[in-house]
Structure 1
Amino acid sequence: WPCVGAILGPVGTLNNAGVIDGGSRSAIDVGTTYSSAVAYSYGWTNSGTITTNSTAATLANITSMSWTNSGTISNIGTGAAISGGYMTLTNSAGGRITTAGTTAIDHYGTFNLTNAGTIVGDVTSSTVTFSGAMTIDNAVGTITGNVRLGQGNDTLTVGYANGAIRTGISGTIDGGAGTDTLRVRFATDATLSSPLTLPTNFEQLTLAPDAKTTATLVTGFTVAGPLRVAGSGTVVNNAVLSGTGTVLADEYNSSGSPSVTNAGTITGTGTQTGTFAVSLNYANRFENSGTVAASQNGVSFSSQGAFVNSGTITAGGTAVSLFGPSFANSGTIRSTGGIGAILSGSSGSNWANSGRIEGTTAGLQLSSGLTNAGTITA
Structure 2
Amino acid sequence: MNILLLSIIPILQFVFVYYLFLKPIQKYSFIFRKLFFVLLGISALNGYLYIFFKMTTAYFGIPKWMVMIVLNIFWAMAVLCILIGIRLVLNFVFKIIRRNLSFNLFKPESVILGLFMTALSFYISAVAVSNGFVPPVIKNYSFTVDKLSEENSGLKIIQLSDLHIDGITTKSEIRDIVDRVNEHKPDLVLITGDFVDGKVADLKEITDILFDLDSKYGTYAVPGNHEYYSDYKKWIAYFEKGNIRFLENKNISIKNYAQKNVINLCGITDPTAENYDMTEPSIKDALEGIDNTVPTVFMSHRPKFAVELQELSDLTLCGHTHGGFMPGIDRLVGLLNEGMTHGLYKLGREKVIVSPGTRINTASAFRIFNKPAINIIILESPNTQRKLSSKNYSIYFES
Normalising by the residue count of structure 2, what TM-score does the alignment of the two structures yield?
A: 0.25
Greater share of residues in strand: 1
Greater share of residues in helix: 2
Normalising by the residue count of structure 1, what TM-score does the alignment of the two structures yield?
A: 0.26
Higher RCO by CA contacts (8 Å cutoff, separation 6 or greater): 2
